């Protein structure tokens, strides 16, 4: 019968990992280089996907929607009435935007989005969901103690502000329309979009003033 030597297994494990860079980004680059070398991945395809998720599919799309709503009252009304149609009007429709509802933050209301079952999320306009959004702790505590969760994100709300928690599902996904910050009256759509954060469209960020940025 073979024997199990935990020290030997640990040595093997350390030896294997010693050939990989310590930083996650460098590890990914090392794996990518290996796949390219073996002809399994086209580097141009990788660059195209990175650019798409960074510049197009990522939260910049949602930020454009928010900035348009801040500037155009008619579009804002449409967004709050039928977010899927409003997003489609901007040419931003895609995966997870067909059944989309926008909820508006106001001086007396703050909205927080969660998916209590898994990680349903409108990634077509908000990009990839952050790791914390998919974590069991966030999914549970956002419902039980939303104010406590918000404080951990640096959002300390006065008791006079009501907190509404929205549970995204595969059939209905939510995005938050943040309040337009004071002092931004002279900014154009591009400048306003630059203030909008992904977390604000989930509800874990509230102060989008230029000073906060």
Catalytic positions: 115, 118-120
| Cβ-proximal residues to 164 (8 Å cutoff; 6+ apart), any chain | 103, 109, 110, 111, 112
* DSSP conformation letters of the chain: -PPP-HHHHHHHHHHHHTTS-SSHHHHHHHHHHHHHHTTSS-HHHHHHHHHIIIIISSHHHHHHHHHHHHH-HHHHHHHHH-HHHHHHHTT---TT-TTEEEEE-BTTEEEEEE-SSS----HHHH-SPPHHHHSHHHHHHHHH-HHHHHHHTT----TTSEEEEEE--SS-EEEEEPPPPTT-TT--HHHHHTT--HHHHHTS-----TTT-
């Amino acid at each position: 019968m073979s024997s199990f030597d935990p020290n030997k297994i640990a040595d093997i494990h350390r030896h294997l990992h010693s050939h990989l860079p310590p930083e996650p980004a460098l590890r990914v680059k090392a794996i990518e280089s290996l796949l390219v070398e073996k002809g399994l991945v086209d580097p141009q395809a990788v660059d195209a996907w990175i650019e798409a998720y960074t510049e197009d599919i990522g939260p910049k799309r949602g930020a454009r929607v928010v900035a348009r709503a801040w500037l155009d009252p008619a579009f804002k009304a449409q967004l709050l009435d039928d977010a899927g149609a409003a997003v489609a009007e901007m040419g931003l429709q895609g995966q997870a935007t067909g059944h989309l509802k926008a909820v508006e933050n106001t001086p007396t209301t703050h909205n927080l989005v969660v998916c209590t079952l898994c990680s349903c999320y409108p990634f077509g306009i908000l990009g990839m969901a952050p790791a914390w959004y998919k974590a069991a702790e966030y999914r549970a505590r956002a419902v039980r103690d939303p104010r406590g969760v918000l404080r951990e994100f640096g959002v300390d709300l006065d008791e006079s502000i009501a907190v509404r928690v929205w549970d995204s599902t595969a059939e209905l996904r939510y995005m938050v329309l943040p309040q337009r910050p004071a002092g931004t009256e002279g900014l154009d759509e591009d400048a306003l979009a630059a203030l909008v954060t992904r977390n604000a469209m989930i509800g874990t960020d509230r102060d989008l003033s230029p000073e906060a940025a």
